[in-house]
Structure 1
Amino acid sequence: MQRVCFQLQVKPDRIEEYTRRHASVWPEMLRALHETGWQNYSLFLRPDGILIGYFETDSLAAAQAGMAATEVNVRWQAAMAEFFENLEGSPDEGFVRLAEVFHLEDQLAALDAVDTIHLEFTPTPTEK
């Protein structure tokens, strides 16, 4: 599963309306996102308009292509494009992807693997 985090800039004078529109996303848009593999999808908005999005998917390219093929996404992206500054393309493809530098579960799993190996190869006091 890929974890995808991205950033966009909402125009400061449009933050209130952007927030209102996301309080009640079109039902067909919600279904399309779900059906095309956008899982655990969240948006976070700072008071200055910095928008951070996060979702999980099996394939970013497939999730984006799946949404691009839906009529509802074409309408939604056209309706949302006016809210963003410095946007090249539609919001769902013009975002800046952020690099993941830390994930707790990955590091814990790696630590558990090292601990398991250490335990398997550490002689007990009676084996010395």
Structure 2
Amino acid sequence: MIKGFKMKLYEGMEQEYIKRHNELWPEMIDMIHAYGGKNYSIFLDRETNTLFGYIEILDEELWAQAADTAINRQWWDYMADIMETNPDNSPVTEDLQLVFHLD
């Protein structure tokens, strides 16, 4: 299953966002894989500071459970100062509709 979504960075936080993801915690990587995520990519539109995420997941229900892990909550807290977030520090995300896919 393929998921696409978008998020929003605060102005001037592009390099910090890239730096933090280049130093992604090993525990976060393990959690993503444990909850069925792979081929995870995030793209940045520099004109709008919009992030576009792409991830392949095994199961929507399993993937949704990842949000409640301690490591995921720590990551959200760590990233909250550089991007738009909800009151629980989860990133504000909007799912994107898949309109074309080619293997």
TM-score normalised by L of structure 2: 0.87
Alignment partner, residue 16 of structure 2: 17
Give, in whole Å, the separation in 1 of the partners of 2:60 and 2:82: 23
- Bigger radius of gyration, 1 or 2? 1
Matching residue's letter, 1:99 = Q
1:7 aligns with 2:6: yes
Extract unaligned runs of 5+ from structure 2.
none
Identity rate, percent: 34
Rounded Cα–Cα distance in structure 1 between residues aligned with 2:7 and 2:93 = 6
Aligned position for 2:76: 77
| Greater share of strand | 2
2:95 paired residue number: 97
Runs (4+) off by over 4 Å: none
Q: Which structure is richer in relative contact order (CA contacts within 8 A, separation 6 or more)?
A: 2
TM-score (norm: length of structure 1) = 0.71
- RMSD, aligned CA: 1.5
State the match for 1:51 in structure 2.
51
1:39 is displaced (CA, Å) by 1.3
Range moving further from structure 2, 56-65 or 24-33: 56-65
1:60 to partner: Cα distance:
2.4
1:2-41 Cα distance to aligned partner (Å, 9 max, x none): 1000001111221111111011100111111111111111
